Each structure stands twice: as structure tokens, then as C-alpha cells.
Amino acid sequence: MIKQTIEISSKPTHLRVRNEQLLIEQREDESKTTASVPCEDIGVLVVDQIQTTYTHGALAALAECGAIVLVCGQDHLPVGMLLPLAEHTEVVWRIQEQIDISKPLQKQLWRQLVQAKIRAQADNLPQNTPQRTKLLALAQRVRSGDPTNIEAQAAKVYWSLWPEENHPFRRDPDGKDPLNSLLNYGYAVLRAAVARAVVSAGLLPAIGLHHANRSNAFCLADDLLEPLRPLVDARVRDLHRHGIREIGPASKQELLGLLTQKVASKDGSAGPLMVSLQRMVASLVHCFEGNEKEIDIPTAVNTCESCR
């Protein structure tokens, strides 16, 4: 079953639990409305309303059901998340395998992620353009561990033509302009979903393959996020082309919808991204165990007309 994504943003809201149902109580003037959703049906809860209040029971029930809670700041970007603790039956063995992974395997897996990211970036660009051709060539040049930083070279080519040739854009993770804010919001949502899949598989999100910042508790989630970023880029580009260029109800709904977007797996089957993330992490576990050599990285099923 596909888990639901719920966003709280429009009205002051109180969240509590009764009979394993999350009660969403909203007040406006003297009126009050209450909606209920089974806690087990919730995958992601995004809270972007500064007057939202919670009971301890609501947060505990959501965590017990495997949901993640994303809390947004004044700029509407996620600033924190509540993740469930893993209760996997083999969690200790999984973590030990994760710690013991060999350096060569670590580098080979990172190579796969970088190659997949660059190919996905190429798919976001119009066919028969020099930039797309160059990205595909760069993907083939990525070596184990990406020692020559082909990823950065590809980024320079990619962003020069994104979102479109006649619209100059500079990717800046700290940028406050509308397009960078939309990208950051989409990346944060996917990062949380990846972290959820990592924890559910009994792995530690802090122990990465390539990312290794001592202050980053989600290094592995950030590694696995890299080839998924172009999914966000494509959605933001489409919003831009339809005149939606700032974080608001319409753009947030579209970006949260990425979690249910249909993507393709390695075997050719297609399904919602939220489900495919579990397959992706499961394949990574099999790589750690030595049973597989490739990560099952989800890829976009449909691209825009101008990119075909």
C-alpha cells in the first residue's frame, strides 16, 4: 500500500491520536474542523504552520507506524525531521556489515550513484544538444570513487542549460531566490524519504559511502539521494514553465507528489517512488552482503516533451 503524504500549512492545527487515528483539528475564527487518518496509512507528515501543536502521543504513534515528520521553518523549508527507530530483526548484523564494507566496494557503489545521477541529468536536457551529449560522455568516464570529480564537471554543464537555455540560472544550495528554494524543498522531502527507507532496512543513515561529514547524521541518505535529485529538477522545471516559481500551496503539492511519482526499477518494472526507495536500499544491503553488485536505482519513467 502507498503511504499517504500529509501537509499542514494553511490553518492553526492541533494533532492528537485516538483509536490509532491521527486527528487533525483546525480552527479558524470560531469554527473547528476535524479530519482523521489511520496512523499506519501515513508515510510523511509535513508541518509548515507555525501555530501547529502536537500531543506526545501523536508523535509517538506516527513513529511507531514508521512515519516521518518534517518540520519547516519560517522560509517554508524543512529544518528538522523525526525518524522512527529501526526495529529490523537483523539490525545489529546489518549495521556491522555496513561498517565492515571494503573500500573498493564503497568506491564502486559511489561510482554507480554518480553515473546514474549524470545520466538522469542528461535525460532532463533536450535531445541533440551538445550539453546532453557531453553529459552522457562524462558518465562513461566516471571511475571507481570518482577521483577526478566528474560529478562536479557534469554539474557545471548541466546547470548551464537548466531550466532552459534562455533562462540563466546558478545553482546555490544557500540561495534564497525562488528556483533554488523550490529545489531545496524538493531535495529535503526526498532526503527524508530516503532516510526513512535506510532506517527501515536496519542501516545507520550516518555511515555513508562517500559523504563523511562528522556533523551530518544522514550521510548515507545523502549518498543515495544524488541520483534522485534530477527527479526534483524535472518537477521544478515544469513548475517554472507553468509560471509557478515560488514556494506555495501549489508548488509544495507538486513536490510532495514526487513520492508517488511512477519510476522504473532495474528489472523494468514501474511503481511509486516511495516503494522503489525500499527496493533501492534493499539492493544496497545485498551489495553489502556480497549477494549483488549493483544498486537498484530508480529512474524516471516519463520526461517532458522537449527532452525527448
Greater model confidence, 167 or 274? 274
Q: Would you place residue 213 in the very low, low, confident or very high pLDDT band (cuts 50, 70, 90)? A: confident
Across residues 88-95, what is the average pLDDT? 74
pTM: 0.90
Q: For residues 288 and 222, what is the distance between their CA atoms, to the nearest angstrom?
A: 18
Across residues 111-115, what is the average pLDDT? 98
CB atoms < 10 A from the CB of 154, how many? 26
Q: Would you place residue 308 in the very low, low, confident or very high pLDDT band (cuts 50, 70, 90)? A: very low
Greater model confidence, 214 or 161? 161
Burial profile 229-247: b = 16 or more Cβ within 10 angstroms, e = fewer? bbbbbbbbbebbeeebbeb
What is the layout of strands, in order, in the sheet containing 270-272? 270-272, 262-264, 299-300
At residue 190, does pLDDT exceed 80?
yes
Q: Residue 118 burial (CB < 10 Å; 0-12/13-18/19+)?
A: buried
**Domains and their CATH numbers in the chain:** 4-82 (3.100.10.20), 91-307 (1.20.120.920)
Q: Are 68 and 59 in contact (CB under 8 A)?
A: no
Across residues 242-250, what is the average pLDDT? 93
Q: Give 162's DSSP letter.
A: S
Q: Would you place residue 175 in the very low, low, confident or very high pLDDT band (cuts 50, 70, 90)? A: confident
What integer pLDDT is reported at residue 167 of this predicted model?
83
Taking only Cα atoms into account, the Rg of the chain, rounded to an integer number of angstroms, comes to: 20
Q: Would you place residue 304 in the very low, low, confident or very high pLDDT band (cuts 50, 70, 90)? A: very low
At residue 307, does pLDDT exceed 60?
no
At residue 25, does pLDDT exceed 50?
yes
What integer pLDDT is reported at residue 75 of this predicted model?
87
What integer pLDDT is reported at residue 14 of this predicted model?
96
Q: Would you place residue 272 in the very low, low, confident or very high pLDDT band (cuts 50, 70, 90)? A: very high
Q: Would you place residue 88 in the very low, low, confident or very high pLDDT band (cuts 50, 70, 90)? A: low
At residue 305, does pLDDT exceed 50?
no
At residue 38, does pLDDT exceed 50?
yes
